[in-house]
Amino acid sequence: MKNDKFNVVGKELPRTDAYEKVTGRAQYAADTSFPDLCITSQKYVSLAHGIIKKIDISEAEKVTGIKAIITAKDIPGKQLSGVIKCDQPVFSFDKIYCPADVIALVVGTEKDSIRKALSLIKIETEELPILTEYTKALQKDVPLIHPENKSNLINHYPLRKGDIEKGFRESDLIIERTFTTPAVEHAYIEPECITAVPDFRRDVYKIFGSVQNPFTCRRLVATVMDVPLTNIHIIQNELGGSFGGKDDTMDILAARACVACKKVGKPVRIRLTREESIVESYKRHPYTMHYKVGVSHKGILKAMKIDISADGGAYASMSPFVTWRSVVQATGPYEVENVCTDVRAVYTNNPYTGAFRGFGSPQIIFAQESLMDEIAEKLNMSPIEFRRLNGYKQNSQTASGQILSSHIVSLNQVMEKAIRESDFNKKYSIYKSEVYPTQIPTKGELILSDEHFTSGSIIKNGIGLACSFRGCSLGAEGVDATSALISVQKDGSVYLISGLAENGQGLRMTFSMVAAEVLGISPNGIYYLEQDTSRIADGGPTVASRSTLVGGEAVKAAADIVRERIEKMLISEWDLGEEATLNFADHTIYHDETGHKITFMEACNKAYMNGVNLNAYGWFKAPDVDWNEEVGQGPAYFTYVYGCQIAEVEVNTGSGKIFVKTITAVHDAGRIINRLGALGQIYGGVSQGAGYGIMEEVIVKNAEIKNVNFDEYLIPTSVDIGEIKAFFVENPDTFGPFGGKSLGEPTLELTAAAINNAVANALGKRFYHLPLDLEQLITGKTLHQIKR
Amino acid sequence: MNNKYTFHKFIELKPALEFMNQNSETSRIIAGGTDILIEIRKEDKNLNPINHIIDIHDIPTLRKIKIENNFCILGACCTHSEISTSKIIGEYFPVLKMAVDKIGSPQIRNVATIGGNICNLAACADSIAPLLVYDVNVRLCSTTGDRIVPLEKILLKPYITDVQPDEILAEILLPLPEKNWKYCFYKLGRRSGVSISRLSYAIMLRSENNTIQEVRFAFGALFSVPKRLYTLEKELVHQTISNILWKDVSRKVASKILDETGVRWSTSYKIPVIQQLLYKSLMDLT
């Protein structure tokens, strides 16, 4: 889409950090070097739940070459971490909660002695019974993970709207289904690495690493070190992927490295192997979702009763926020008069779960979108017709009672576009008519009888869709404000930094494009500064698909201030009168009516000579939102985005293998700023979502992860996903720079649900559990075994 | 860990054999390294007695693919990529080409060797089933002399072959087949790329007037090691091809797998699936 209103915004421009990344010059955390660097290894115990009786490091300390062995005793400040609930020990000292817990950090200079010392650390433990079945975590007589809470409940969110009983009474058809989804791994290409470096100033530390959220990291390290925030500088290296995964884990590693750094007085690095990374990092929440839905014979949704439990694992981490998004969005983008939702996150001894691109939405979308198709089928309606009837329209009311009036509700637009681009209606009916009684024997004998063999084609085609609405940014989770700093030099070159951090998604490019648009320059003229917590105000975390929207507004605000100052200076110099407006484009500033003209560079030099301040802080605070925790009512988010994805699959009915042939992805993310970056978000999100749909699963047995590397934890390769057709529907929002809002997470959340509906279209048979792996398609259940 | 192994690189077979003869209990051969490097990283206990890593990857005589006296001589250190691009293999042994094309990733195929695939002997080794249907022999060399044995005979148990500690698998000897075979190779992996076989099979069939003259079946990832089903093959000679026959064959194969492997976690999946896939392949073949 061409938009002549803009010079930079919406254009397909290569990202400004592409050269360094493609040529391998970009410095990732493990590429950096420091004099006298100490390396480390972490001591785990192979125990899922137990009391620590004694930690004896005396023999280990004697190993030649060992600088220090760090335990909880070395921590100057707080022992526990956790953004919402402080329940995760930085170093375990009294109790083991899960097999990923770390008791000690061995610091040395070469691997052999570190390895030897590790083996000499003696830990006496008393084993406790373990709890792994999260759906049973709230029953009586189960082990309590954090006994001080008197329950394994992390949080419970109720939502009550209308009269649920009345809703079911008015329903002609009631359907109840249970859906489950597995834990999955972020699978970022770069495993965690962090280096803490002492400063010549007392109690000052500089920490370099693959940190997703430098400010969150700084808060934890400062409390653990018991120093003011200003003493901890978190400097972010290039991030080799995060997807929400380099938050808590990285922060704790940073704290451990810093404690060690204080003790040895030298730079200390913790670098995880892939196996350690998979064991120690948090995962996406497994969900068990019970949906009971009532609908009138005309197809109007009358009532939805939803009961969800989420496995939080050993620590609360982001569970309260992740499951909050689920409670807000659990009905999907459909008007339902009577809703009764309960979402609970619970503790177990399993790997802990936290933020992961999607954040509590891929699970519920899988359930609700599968159900919408199933209900439509039972009503003899097309899935489109049913969604058109019930889907959000302008001024619809959400389950939490919010009226969607302040932005364009584009559910129908994205759906229509996706239907058109994928030829959905035609294909859906053709594929449906080709379904014949499935030859897949789901039960019974292993040896097939004659009628079970298929002689014709064993490849079946299917097409299916899923759509969603998604609240932008943090919503009622908490403070939602961020900053940006712009500094224009006298030669017209520009420094830019914001309070949000590049995670590899292309934030620097998008922000540079916003600033470039305002100043009428090219994004290449913008030097994006290294992310350092001492350079810029705390802008909150880089999460919730909020960067373009919230950070972009801050960048625009900063650039606007500079632009106004230049404008004011020139208007006065050219004597144009206060009402005049100038154009900024192509590195030139000009006044149409009078023909006055100056290059951006000359203008900046002029400003410098006149003492005009071309440095500015931009700030954006999101509009207020509100949530009543008792009944789950309120305007949860200040704006929303809408998306629709349609999956076309080939199912081999002999082997159960699904090939995702085409995904048509249509998203309304408001105005698209960085078009190539936005396309990249779709390609990546869809691939990740397809992996979630058909193959990914962290296998946990007795709380221990079994598939700890990519030979056994399978993600899709480039040949596993066919064509991804990406389209944008652009409805600029009131908020966001030039009306651009959120895209990162919506791209992932829909894919698995769309694939599930496509498989049902192909086979005439529905599935309720992810992943849709070979075994589930053939035997009806996943084996929860390592998959090779 | 770094000091445990001494690395010895040979560019001729004879000195390598002499070294192996002297240090047979403490040496392990490396060719492409795609299996042993992983064992080293994992500190596999099978490597405990090993101090010498013997690199034979660049011994030129082990890298040849040539035809001699109605045999194709395939050097054991040929990489899967070399096999895939060889004209001889493409012309005479298409089933082998189909199989090596699907092994791992391009990076793995560029270094991993066919000899390594045999000597490592994973149940899911993809190149073995196609070699078995071509009735190949292997040449095992040592300082005490060479022996030539059918490939089948050295496949003992998963990860255990009859290649002796002082022997090197040097060549695979493939008799040139007549051209009137119908054939197929099927590999099922969880992924389409970089995937390990859930099951694989190679089939060769000669028929005339809808009557079977000769048929060969070899299976990967279904039995403890890849294997041929000779008894079944013999039973089928002179039988008339029909869908009923192929259904029976598929069921017999499945029963044989059940008999030999017993019921395992994967049985409820693999047994129905092999029957349908095999049946479908046989129908497509005829």
pLDDT tens readout for residues B66-78? 999 999 999 999 9
Model pLDDT, residue A701: 96
Burial per residue of A735-772, b for 16 or more beta-carbon CB atoms within 10 angstroms, e otherwise? bbbbbbbbbbbbbbbbbbbbbbbbbbbbbbeebbbbbb
Q: How far apart are CA A67 and CA A84, in angstroms?
A: 34
Q: Is the confidence at residue A4, as pLDDT, over 70? A: no
Q: With CB atoms and an 8 Å threshold, state whether A778 touches B258.
A: no
Q: Which of A245, A248, A239 is nearest to A209 (CA)?
A: A239
| Mean of pLDDT values over A759-776 | 96
Higher-pLDDT residue of B266 and A214 is A214
**A331-345, A449-463, A637-651, B209-223, range with the lowest pLDDT:** A449-463
Distance from the first to the final alpha carbon of chain B: 55
The chain B residues in contact with chain A (CB within 8 A) are: 1-2, 105, 124, 188, 190-196, 198, 243-244, 247, 250-251, 254-255, 258, 265-269, 271-273, 275-277, 279-280, 283
Alpha-helix residue ranges (DSSP H) falling in chain B:
13-22, 36-42, 80-85, 87-92, 94-100, 106-111, 114-120, 128-133, 151-154, 230-236, 243-261, 267-285
Phi, psi of A468 (to 5 degrees): -155, 160
**Token representation of residue A249:** 């884990």
What percentage of chain A carries pLDDT values higher than 90? 95
Q: With CB atoms and an 8 Å threshold, state whether A448 touches B267.
A: no
Q: Which of B74, B66, B75, B72 is nearest to B13 (CA)?
A: B75
Q: Do domains A18-26+481-621 and A32-128+192-271 have the same CATH topology?
A: no
Q: Which residues in chain A are closer than 8 Å to B250, comparing Cβ atoms?
A: 448, 453
- As beta bridge partners, residue A723 has A662
Task: Using alpha carbons, list the distances in angstroms from residue A712 to A243, A424, A708, B33, B55.
Answer: 20, 35, 7, 19, 28
Model pLDDT, residue A2: 43
| Spatial strand order in the sheet of A287-295 | A153-161, A338-347, A301-313, A287-295, A173-181
Q: How far apart are CA A510 and CA A499, in angstroms?
A: 14
The identity of residue B278, as a single letter, is L
Q: Which residues in chain A are closer than 8 Å to B243, comparing Cβ atoms?
A: 453, 455
Farthest CA pair distance, chain A: 94
Location of structure tokens 């997470």: A745
pLDDT tens-digit series, residues A734-749: 999 999 999 999 999 9
Cα of B244 to nearest chain A Cα, Å: 8
Model pLDDT, residue A787: 65
Burial class (CB in 10 A: 0-12, 13-18, 19+), B208: exposed
- As beta bridge partners, residue A651 has A460, A658
Q: Specify the CATH architecture of the domain B182-285.
A: 2-Layer Sandwich (3.30)
Q: How far apart are CA A80 and CA A49, in angstroms?
A: 18
Residue A430, phi-psi category: left (phi > 0), alpha (psi -120 to 50), beta (remainder): alpha
- As beta bridge partners, residue B79 has B113
Q: Which CATH topology does A287-474+629-779 take?
A: Aldehyde Oxidoreductase; domain 4 (3.30.365)
**Is residue A23 a contact partner of residue A93, using CB atoms and an 8 Å limit?**
no
Cβ of residue A720 closer than 8 Å to a chain B Cβ: yes
Q: How far apart are CA A690 and CA A687, in angstroms?
A: 5
Peptide bond into A147 cis (omega under 30): no
Cα of A158 to nearest chain B Cα, Å: 40
Task: Using alpha carbons, list the distances in angstroms from residue A430 to A436, A661, A664.
Answer: 12, 16, 18
Task: Report strand pairing: A583-585 vs B147-150.
Answer: unpaired
Cβ of residue A453 closer than 8 Å to a chain B Cβ: yes
Banded pLDDT at A435 (limits 50, 70, 90): confident
CATH placement of domain B60-175: 3.30.465.10
The identity of residue A778, as a single letter, is I
Q: How far apart are CA A542 and CA A250, in angstroms?
A: 14
Q: Name which of B188, B258, B268 is nearest A779 (Cβ-Cβ).
A: B268
| Mean of pLDDT values over A527-548 | 96
Q: Name which of B2, B190, B254 is nearest A447 (Cβ-Cβ).
A: B254
Interface test with A, best of B192, B259, B271 (most A CBs within 10 A): B192
Cβ of residue A656 closer than 8 Å to a chain B Cβ: yes
**Is residue A152 a contact partner of residue A346, using CB atoms and an 8 Å limit?**
yes
Q: What angle do CA A48, A49, A50 make, to 5 degrees?
A: 130
Write out the residue limits of the CATH 3.30.390.50 domain(s) in chain B.
182-285
Q: How far apart are CA A272 and CA A75, in angstroms?
A: 21
Q: Is the confidence at residue A511, as pLDDT, over 80? A: yes
Q: Which residues in chain A are closer than 8 Å to B276, comparing Cβ atoms?
A: 439, 448, 452-454, 458, 653-655
- As beta bridge partners, residue A666 has A644, A727
Q: Name which of B192, B196, B277 is nearest A720 (Cβ-Cβ).
A: B192
Nearest CA in chain B to A716: B191
Q: With CB atoms and an 8 Å threshold, state whether A112 touches B247.
A: no
pLDDT tens-digit series, residues A53-112: 999 999 999 999 999 999 999 999 999 999 999 999 999 999 999 999 999 999 999 999
**Token representation of residue A656:** 């159960």
Cβ of residue A454 closer than 8 Å to a chain B Cβ: yes
Across A635-717, the runs of DSSP E, i.e. the strands, are 640-652, 657-668, 700-701, 704-705
Model pLDDT, residue B3: 73
pLDDT tens-digit series, residues A700-710: 999 999 999 99
Q: Name which of B254, B255, B265 is nearest A783 (Cβ-Cβ).
A: B265
Location of structure tokens 């625009």: A556
Banded pLDDT at A782 (limits 50, 70, 90): confident
pLDDT tens-digit series, residues A443-494: 567 999 998 898 889 999 999 999 999 999 999 888 999 999 999 999 999 9
Write out the residue limits of the CATH 3.30.465.10 domain(s) in chain B.
60-175
Model pLDDT, residue A444: 60
The identity of residue A515, as a single letter, is A
**Token representation of residue B246:** 């192929």
Q: Which residues in chain B are closer than 8 Å to A701, comparing Cβ atoms?
A: none
Q: Which of B29, B25, B37 is nearest to B13 (CA)?
A: B29
Task: Using alpha carbons, list the distances in angstroms from residue A734 to A549, A639, A670, B286.
Answer: 11, 9, 9, 66
Q: Which of A325, A201, A182, A216 is nearest to A700 (CA)?
A: A182
Q: Is the confidence at residue A674, as pLDDT, over 50? A: yes
Interface test with A, best of B41, B191, B194 (most A CBs within 10 A): B191
Sign of CA dihedral A561, A567, A572, A577: negative
Alpha-helix residue ranges (DSSP H) falling in A319-438:
319-329, 362-378, 383-390, 411-422, 424-433
Q: With CB atoms and an 8 Å threshold, state whether A452 touches B276.
A: yes
Burial per residue of A39-73, b for 16 or more beta-carbon CB atoms within 10 angstroms, e otherwise? bbbbbbbebbbbebeebebeebeebeebbbbbbbe
Instruction: Report CA Rg, chain B.
Output: 19
- As beta bridge partners, residue B161 has B155
Instruction: Report CA Rg, chain A.
Output: 27
Q: Which of A729, A472, A469, A745 is nearest to A620 (CA)?
A: A472
Q: With CB atoms and an 8 Å threshold, state whether B190 touches A659.
A: no
Q: To the nearest whole number, what is the mean pLDDT of chain A?
A: 96
Q: Which run of H or E residues covers position A19?
A: helix A18-22
Q: How far apart are CA B173 and CA B176, in angstroms?
A: 9
Task: Report strand pairing: B137-141 vs B65-68.
Answer: unpaired
**A202-216, A291-305, A553-567, B260-274, range with the lowest pLDDT:** B260-274
**Is residue A772 a contact partner of residue A464, using CB atoms and an 8 Å limit?**
no
Q: With CB atoms and an 8 Å threshold, state whether B196 touches A788.
A: yes
| Mean of pLDDT values over A619-639 | 96
Q: Name which of B1, B266, B276 is nearest A454 (Cβ-Cβ).
A: B276
Q: Which residues in chain B are closer than 8 Å to A718, comparing Cβ atoms?
A: 193
Q: With CB atoms and an 8 Å threshold, state whether A773 touches B191.
A: no
Tell me the HSE value of A586 on the side-chain side, using a 13 A CA sphere: 2
Q: With CB atoms and an 8 Å threshold, state whether A112 touches B266.
A: no
Burial class (CB in 10 A: 0-12, 13-18, 19+), B259: exposed
Superfamily of domain covering A32-128+192-271 = Aldehyde oxidase/xanthine dehydrogenase, a/b hammerhead (3.90.1170.50)
Neighbouring CB atoms inside 10 A of B196's CB total 20
**Token representation of residue B171:** 């060549």
Location of structure tokens 């192509």: A586
Q: Which residues in chain A are closer than 8 Å to B272, comparing Cβ atoms?
A: 440-441, 446, 448, 452, 778
Q: How far apart are CA A42 and CA A273, in angstroms?
A: 11
Model pLDDT, residue A477: 82
Cβ of residue A716 closer than 8 Å to a chain B Cβ: yes
- As beta bridge partners, residue A346 has A153, A311
Q: Which residues in chain B are closer than 8 Å to A653, comparing Cβ atoms?
A: 276
**Token representation of residue A622:** 């999101």
**Token representation of residue A691:** 């992996």
Q: With CB atoms and an 8 Å threshold, state whether B279 touches A657.
A: no
| Mean of pLDDT values over B113-140 | 97
Q: How far apart are CA A345 and CA A353, in angstroms?
A: 10
Q: Which residues in chain A are closer than 8 Å to B196, comparing Cβ atoms?
A: 711, 788
Q: With CB atoms and an 8 Å threshold, state whether A773 touches B254.
A: no
**Is residue A344 a contact partner of residue A309, using CB atoms and an 8 Å limit?**
yes
Q: Is the confidence at residue A27, as pLDDT, over 60? A: yes
Domain boundaries defined on chain A: 18-26+481-621, 32-128+192-271, 287-474+629-779
Q: Which residues in chain B are closer than 8 Å to A785, comparing Cβ atoms?
A: 265-266
pLDDT tens-digit series, residues B141-191: 999 999 999 999 999 999 999 999 999 999 999 999 998 999 999 999 999
CATH placement of domain A18-26+481-621: 3.30.365.10
**Is residue A341 a contact partner of residue A375, using CB atoms and an 8 Å limit?**
no
The SS3 call for residue A574 is coil
Interface test with B, best of A111, A119, A655 (most B CBs within 10 A): A655
